[in-house]
Amino acid sequence: MPPKPTSCLTHRIGSGARAEPSAPPPDKHIDREGWNAYYEKEVTAKYACMSADYPRLEDSPAQEKYWKTCGTIADIKQGNDYNGKMLMHEEGILIAVAIENLHDGNFAAEWKGLAADKKKELVIEGVYRAVCVADRDLTRLTCPELTVKGLSGGGKYGLIKMLERLIAHDPTGNLRVSNMYLFSHPQVDHELSFTEKAPDLLKTVIQSLILARNWLIVKTLVGILEAHHNEPPTIHPNGRMGPHRSGKNKTDRHDGAYHPSQFNNPPKKEVPPVCAGCHAVVADRSVLRKCARCQNVWYCSRECQKKDWPSHKKICGNDSFDSTLLSPVAERPDEFIGCPAVALGFVRSPALWRQIWYLSKRDSQTQVYHLETTPKHSTSVNFSGYEDQLLFLVARRRAMASGSLPAIIVMLEILLAEARRLEDIGKKISPEKVRAQLEREYRVDLSARAIAEAPPFHQPTMEECEEEIRFSKQRIASLGGDLPTGYFRY
């Protein structure tokens, strides 16, 4: 007899009509349309039978054998803690991208104007990309929103409406969310609800299902936007949500009621360990230190362990249900050393927040700007002349603080001069792209006429110059002497 399932996220939850799939689906890597049609039929049949008296998971004895084999509460909570943080991180990035597409761009009109066949192609591609990085295909069976008809249309579960709900939840666009957003669907909300008398293990399992469901929805929305813009997936198709599990959870398993080909995932390589503090992937596990108390999480440094402790201590070795795992502590917005405070009335765009995110990275401490920024890559810029760099830093500070148009124009002039210098040595940076990026970041018009009519730029004061030199020295000091070749010191 096949072994019992070891992960609650790999199995269908819910009873009622067609509780068990009648046959395995087509392979999603070969026949995406057939695979999608299979799951749309299954999820439609599942929720079509639901009514007010439909049993919740708590009231379904037929499902008890599944959730009781999902592992210990402590282990599942550890996964929920990690997955909740990762979901919030993904939501922050998606909201920023959604604002750029819907509010700063013309995506809503573009989407409305697409032919039905093209929308279908993009939706299926988006769901495919999402499932490739989700825990397993079967998570789709708790996502009735993810259908071609629903996402292509203009209703409540249409792509545009779902993106707008995310933006309304947290419209800052700073790549972070103040609290987790959970998509709501009346039948799913009922199915995954529970009373206080429910066992703590069941509550924790349901919590993991809610996280997996929302992860799949978020990654589907991301996937559709990526596909529309002809971008590659943000995560390799063999990746998965959640930290690597070792031992009994490392091997894909299935219960006799489920055909192995339902999972339709190619063999996965060993996943490198991840630091629970900074989420950095570490190739050599021997350099990580394990939490001495629960033996469940790993850290790349003592600093990361101390930073993560306020969050980890809530679940470390604790075998009781914790409802707060659906509301993780929000991450602080990114800031680099010397990042100015925002002046009253100025709202930073998602593109400007992405610039700040790049400048906050360790390998950007000697850089002054990033061109061609996307969520995946950028081209860093430093200037060969001391005076140009200092003037740029002062202008950058004024622009980031208040959106000063004269300061942005100075940045543009210096960047265009640098682009010409780079072109002379074989590195081409389009002047049009430089101008367009500054326009996106600061939501300004940098046409020739707008520049001619702009107020004059006031030259940097001695105080401003000294301040920027001090910040530059602090950024250099943070590298511990590890400076790039040829970098000049102030």
pLDDT digits (tens, 9 = 90+) for 407-421: 999 999 999 988 877
Mean pLDDT of 38-48: 89
Is the model more confident about 402 or about 304?
Answer: 402
Whether pLDDT at 426 is above 50: yes
Closest CA to 408 of 361, 455, 449, 469: 455
Spatial contact of 276 and 82, defined as CB atoms under 8 Å apart: yes
Beta bridge partners of 299: 289
Mean pLDDT of 265-287: 63
DSSP assignment of 130-144 equals HHHHSS-GGGGGG-T
Mean pLDDT of 194-222: 93
| pLDDT of res. 5 | 32
Q: How far apart are CA 351 and CA 97, in angstroms?
A: 9
Is the model more confident about 326 or about 111?
Answer: 111
The confidence band for 232, taking pLDDT boundaries of 50, 70 and 90, is confident
Give the model confidence (pLDDT) of 93-118 as tens digits.
999 999 999 999 999 999 999 999 99
Tell me the Cα Rg of the chain: 25
Give the model confidence (pLDDT) of 345-371 as tens digits.
999 999 999 999 999 998 898 899 998
Q: How far apart are CA 29 and CA 265, in angstroms?
A: 8
- Residue 141, token pair as written in the block: 């069976």
Q: How far apart are CA 164 and CA 108, in angstroms?
A: 10
Q: Which amino acid is at 26?
A: P
| 8-state DSSP, 316 | T
Closest CA to 116 of 160, 159, 148, 157: 148
Whether pLDDT at 150 is above 50: yes
Reported in sequence order, the residue ranges of 289-332 that DSSP labels E, i.e. its strands, are: 289-290, 298-299
Whether pLDDT at 48 is above 50: yes
Q: How many CB atoms lie within 10 A of CB 34?
A: 12
Crossing angle of helices 159-169 and 200-228, in 10° steps, is 120
Centroid of chain to Cα 220? 12
Whether pLDDT at 489 is above 50: yes
Q: 142 to each of 59, 86, 137, how far by Cα in Å?
A: 17, 20, 11
The confidence band for 239, taking pLDDT boundaries of 50, 70 and 90, is very low
Q: How far apart are CA 141 and CA 14, in angstroms?
A: 9
Q: How many CB atoms lie within 10 A of CB 154?
A: 10
Mean pLDDT of 257-278: 49
Beta bridge partners of 344: none
Whether pLDDT at 174 is above 90: yes
Give the model confidence (pLDDT) of 377-392 as tens digits.
888 888 878 899 999 9
Crossing angle of helices 350-359 and 73-102, in 10° steps, is 120
For residue 421, the surrounding DSSP H or E stretch is helix 405-424
Q: How far apart are CA 123 and CA 77, in angstroms?
A: 32
| pLDDT of res. 156 | 94
Q: 73 to each of 5, 36, 201, 205, how far by Cα in Å?
A: 16, 33, 6, 8
Half-sphere exposure of 38 (CA within 13 A, CB side): 19
Closest CA to 227 of 335, 78, 119: 119
| pLDDT of res. 272 | 57
| pLDDT of res. 75 | 85
Q: Which residue's structure tokens are 């070749």?
A: 485
Is the model more confident about 359 or about 489?
Answer: 359
Dihedral in degrees, nearest 10, Cα atoms 388, 389, 393, 396: 60
- Residue 105, token pair as written in the block: 């761009």
The confidence band for 251, taking pLDDT boundaries of 50, 70 and 90, is very low
Whether pLDDT at 269 is above 60: no
Q: How far apart are CA 248 and CA 261, in angstroms?
A: 20
| pLDDT of res. 293 | 74
Mean pLDDT of 37-63: 80
| pLDDT of res. 210 | 95
Mean pLDDT of 152-169: 96
Buried b (16+ CB within 10 A) or exposed e, 56-67: bbbebeebeebb
Is the model more confident about 329 or about 266?
Answer: 329
Buried b (16+ CB within 10 A) or exposed e, 159-192: bbebbeebbeebebbbbbbeebbbbebebbeebb
Q: How far apart are CA 191 and CA 189, in angstroms?
A: 6
The confidence band for 244, taking pLDDT boundaries of 50, 70 and 90, is very low
Q: How far apart are CA 19 and CA 48, in angstroms?
A: 12
| pLDDT of res. 429 | 77
Give the model confidence (pLDDT) of 178-188 as tens digits.
999 999 999 89
The confidence band for 128, taking pLDDT boundaries of 50, 70 and 90, is very high
Percentage of the chain modeled with pLDDT above 70: 81
Lowest-confidence region among 61-70, 255-264, 470-479:
255-264
Instruction: Evaluate the CA torsion angle 363, 366, 369, 372 in order and state its sign.
Output: negative
Average pLDDT, the chain: 82
| pLDDT of res. 53 | 63
Centroid of chain to Cα 369? 23
Give the model confidence (pLDDT) of 6-41 as tens digits.
333 333 444 433 345 567 889 999 999 999 999 999
Instruction: Evaluate the CA torsion angle 86, 89, 91, 97 in order and state its sign.
Output: negative
SS3 readout for 252-286 = CCCCCCCCHHHCCCCCCCCCCCECCCCCCECCCHH
Whether pLDDT at 237 is above 70: no
Mean pLDDT of 257-281: 52
Cα angle for residues 374, 377, 382 (degrees, 5° grid)? 105
Whether pLDDT at 50 is above 70: no
| pLDDT of res. 235 | 56
The confidence band for 490, taking pLDDT boundaries of 50, 70 and 90, is low
| pLDDT of res. 332 | 84
Closest CA to 368 of 399, 331, 403: 399
